[in-house]
Structure 1
Amino acid sequence: MEFKGKKFIVVGAGISGIGAVRLLVNRDAIVTLYDGKLDEETIKGKLDSDLANVNISTGEFSKDLIDNNDVMVISPGVPIDKDFIIDFKNAGKEVIGEVELAYLCAKGRLIAITGTNGKTTTTALVGEILANYFKSSFVVGNIGNAYTLEADKMTDDTVTVAEISSFQMESAKEFHPAVSCVLNVTPDHLDRHKTMENYTACKMMVTKNQTEDEVCVLNYEDNILREEAKKLKCKITYFSSKSILSDGFYLDGKNIVKSVEGKSEVLLSTDDMKIVGVHNAENAMAAIAVSDAIGVPMDIIVETVKNFKAVAHRIEYVDTINDVVYYNDSKGTNPDATIKAVEAMDKPIILIAGGYDKHVSFADMAKVLVGRVKKLVLLGETKHDIEAEAKKVGVDDIVMVSSLEEAVKVSSESATAGDVVLLSPACASWDMFKSYTQRGDLFKEYVNKLK
């Protein structure tokens, strides 16, 4: 893409939006920064002195902004079906996402990791593996720093791993990773994507431009991905927690195995890992497959996997109080994530769940609670929906609360020695909190007050 002298409008004055502005200014583009929710002084306060010549626009998106700009750069939080974006496109103008812009400006090789669940853990693990082998590596996207902030630091020798969301792929065109990975596809964000078909299509956009010499890592046990694999031009490497594969990576009992043309090699045991649960064995296999594809020696990969610790807010151990173990899984923002968290526990569970309504079903999740969850503590917009599905399958020890602090109090009073109190909401946090991070931090704070 040509940048010099071209007129760009960046929508959204968040951290990644400011990063996009800087990328464009560094390439001699003419830049306007628009944010309909902030005033001009607030936006100016976010800009360093070297960005003082950037035009700032606030309030309603006017027709002048369409007429006076050539390309629009949008943040992932802005749906592409917004009226002003449609109007911009209808005027024959180009709309790209911040991730697309960062990709166009960056150098080196890119690994793109997506999926409904597990992408933060997998990306973080791949990031550690890359750092242990390559001289220049970056972790960007939803984890680490914004891709737009790091792109100008990359060289031809850099290897970057990016955690990619479905939102970020809505406007992808030239985005082209050397290695892609789709961990799984289960219902999520249907409030925005409307259908599973649309959601799946956005996830698979990471593979769109890959060639026959490049690699996509897929979960063999995901039926949707097995179907999508038939459409791909690139090489496919599968991983599986249930099936023995003649080619790929699989879990045989507790052993993670690599198989090439039927010849298998045990790489490590899950007992050697610090992250627990079958879902984390899947994350580890995906990370191993990705790192192997990008050229990291297997001994470095295996040693890093053995020493990798869980990321914050993903089945994160908080404390043990009166022989009750507390886990923070605030990043469990959909039912499938909560299923994995519940299945990872080997003790009776008091589950704290509920939150922002993304219009997904809790029926499958409710079935998994049977025999595992002794008490269900519910809060947020979805608490009645979860309650209804839980009662259908015979889970009837349910308490409704109005705050997370109350949820922790009720859970601690109900718990007996040997129990687990698990925060795994199965929902986003936006009904009561700024982010899943804030929700998780508050949970840890309330648990610490129990001492």
Structure 2
Amino acid sequence: MKLEEIEKKKKILILGFGKEGKDAFLFLKKRFPEKEIAIADQKENLKIEKEWKNTKFFLGKDYLKHVNKFDLIVKSPGISPKIPEIKKLYQKKKITTPAKIFFENCKGKIIGITGSKGKGQTALLIYKILKSANLKPKLVGNIGKPYLSYLNSKTENKIFVFEISSHQLFKIGRSPHIAVLTKISPAHLDFFESFGQYIKSKEEILKWQKENDFLVYNARDKIILEMVKKSKAKKIPVKNPQKEIEKYHFKNIPETLKFYSLNFALALKVAEIFGVKKNRIEEAIKNFKGLPHRLEFVGKYKGIYFYNDSASTLPSATEFAIDNLKNKISTLILGGSENYVDISFLVKKILKEKIKNLILFPDTGKRIYEEILKRKKGKNFPDCFFAFSMKEAVKIAFEKTEKGKICLLSPAFPSFSLFSSYQERGNLFKRWVKKLGN
């Protein structure tokens, strides 16, 4: 929504007061100080700053009760569009989102990166490469800084690298100048009404592109190959990531990037659009460590190698981790809050790779165990242990993992059964590994 349209609205409600809701509130309060801007959030014990004491808050289970009293609702991405009240707001065209506000008002170049997996690493690589080339990019979205505040100054000559989720893309009605698609697989089925709606949401990143825009994509993904047909942009496929990287004849590629050849190849294609030279790319990647909680090496303790892949919230992400660490995995810690995705392929891979120990968290630990029982075949059947805290899981890992082998935390599901976020889950894993390992 254009700022000129927002200016006409008398009463505004920020729906959801997480990172983006807070950013939207602070931006709109500064931009339109005379307007009534209220906040609604389902959390009852929300931390309220002193300077917000005159702001109306609607908290707890009835947080949606007053939505019809407002002229405009700014919905945070974490609130599902399948909630009946939200559906009605979309029908009445009374709803917008922080991402939509940014896309409609930013005059600079936006590079939008999305996918079920790998968007964060790809965005970080693009950002570092463009930064090395002195293009002064801004990293925003899920892994970067809050973005609406950039609209307080001129954006014409700025480049924004935006890691954007399906939640943020939902009905956004705009596409970035450069769209990057990594990989699509079933995800967030608890949030969307169907996998089809999830794909439709992802398609927003390319649906509104014009002939002078660019679309960089993983050409080995069948779903993406169907999606790209809907874009008018100049299409730049990545068919063989390794070949794309080998063309450059880099002297040294960090170990981390060997896990992420597709993400690296996609970033190289974006670098080519901007004409970034090889030496600038080499400078950008020489110390690249990647994002935390993504196949992050924690260390060797008591002869065991520990890897933290807590950002794995999908079975396909855990499959990717297993493929990269090959047959070195002795113990796999997995399970989390239910999102109703298919686990049959993951279970097949666990059995095929002969992983000896599984440590299972609720809620989905039981479902994983039952799926494994269905496929039980003699010696390939892993020992399964249920854990209800990270300390307990790591303790079992130290007891059961073979020396010289890997213990991998790659949960395949969101964190919310036992932890507040995948970051908390990963940090607790690292903490207990170091505490029990020393």
Asked if the contact 1:176/1:206 (under 8 Å) is kept, the reply is yes
After TM superposition, give the deviation of residue 285 of structure 1 in Å.
Answer: 0.8
229-238 vs 126-135, greater mean Cα deviation = 126-135
Matching residue of 1:439: 425
After TM superposition, give the deviation of residue 421 of structure 1 in Å.
Answer: 0.5
428-437 vs 195-204, greater mean Cα deviation = 195-204
Q: Is 1:46 paired with 2:46?
A: no
Q: For 1:236-255, list aligned pairs within 5 A.
A: 236-241=235-240, 250-252=241-243
* TM-superposition CA deviations, 1:348-393 (whole Å, max 9, x none): 3311111111101111112222235222111211112212333416
After TM superposition, give the deviation of residue 186 of structure 1 in Å.
Answer: 0.7
Q: TM-score scaled by structure 1?
A: 0.87
Matching residue of 2:82: 81
Q: In the aligned structure 2, how far is the partner of 1:183 from the partner of 1:111?
A: 13
**The structure with more strand, counted as a fraction of residues:** 1
* TM-superposition CA deviations, 1:192-223 (whole Å, max 9, x none): 22322111111121112111111111111111
Q: TM-score scaled by structure 2?
A: 0.89
Q: For 1:52-451, list aligned pairs within 5 A.
A: 55-58=56-59, 60=62, 65-69=67-71, 71-90=72-91, 92-152=92-152, 155-173=155-173, 175-241=174-240, 250-252=241-243, 256-257=245-246, 265-268=247-250, 272-278=253-259, 280-346=260-326, 347-369=328-350, 370-391=352-373, 392=375, 394=377, 395-449=381-435, 450-451=437-438
After TM superposition, give the deviation of residue 226 of structure 1 in Å.
Answer: 1.1
1:256 maps to a residue whose letter is: I
After TM superposition, give the deviation of residue 231 of structure 1 in Å.
Answer: 2.2
> How many pairs align?
425
Q: In the aligned structure 2, how far is the partner of 1:328 from the partner of 1:62?
A: 37
* TM-superposition CA deviations, 1:142-161 (whole Å, max 9, x none): 11222234443563221111
Q: In the aligned structure 2, how far is the partner of 1:30 from the partner of 1:216?
A: 39
Question: Unmatched 5+ residue regions in structure 1?
Answer: 242-249, 258-264
Matching residue of 1:34: 39
Look up the SS of the partner of 2:148 in the other structure.
Answer: helix
Q: In the aligned structure 2, how far is the partner of 1:65 from the partner of 1:380?
A: 35
Asked if the contact 1:103/1:151 (under 8 Å) is kept, the reply is no
* TM-superposition CA deviations, 1:266-319 (whole Å, max 9, x none): 3437x62231545x0111111111232244334322432343112110000101
1:6 maps to a residue whose letter is: K
Change (3 A) 1:389 1:293: farther
* Percent identity (aligned): 29
Q: In the aligned structure 1, how far is the partner of 2:313 from the partner of 2:66?
A: 39
Look up the SS of the partner of 1:439 in the other structure.
Answer: helix
Look up the SS of the partner of 1:272 in the other structure.
Answer: coil
Change (3 A) 1:105 1:52: farther
Matching residue of 2:17: 13
Q: In the aligned structure 2, how far is the partner of 1:287 from the partner of 1:181?
A: 9
Q: In the aligned structure 2, how far is the partner of 1:363 from the partner of 1:444?
A: 29
Look up the SS of the partner of 1:33 in the other structure.
Answer: strand
After TM superposition, give the deviation of residue 27 of structure 1 in Å.
Answer: 3.4
Question: Unmatched 5+ residue regions in structure 2?
Answer: none
Q: In the aligned structure 2, how far is the partner of 1:349 from the partner of 1:154?
A: 53
6-15 vs 106-115, greater mean Cα deviation = 6-15
1:428 maps to a residue whose letter is: P
Asked if the contact 1:16/1:149 (under 8 Å) is kept, the reply is no
2:161 maps to a residue whose letter is: V
Q: In the aligned structure 1, how far is the partner of 2:194 from the partner of 2:64?
A: 31
Asked if the contact 1:276/1:344 (under 8 Å) is kept, the reply is no
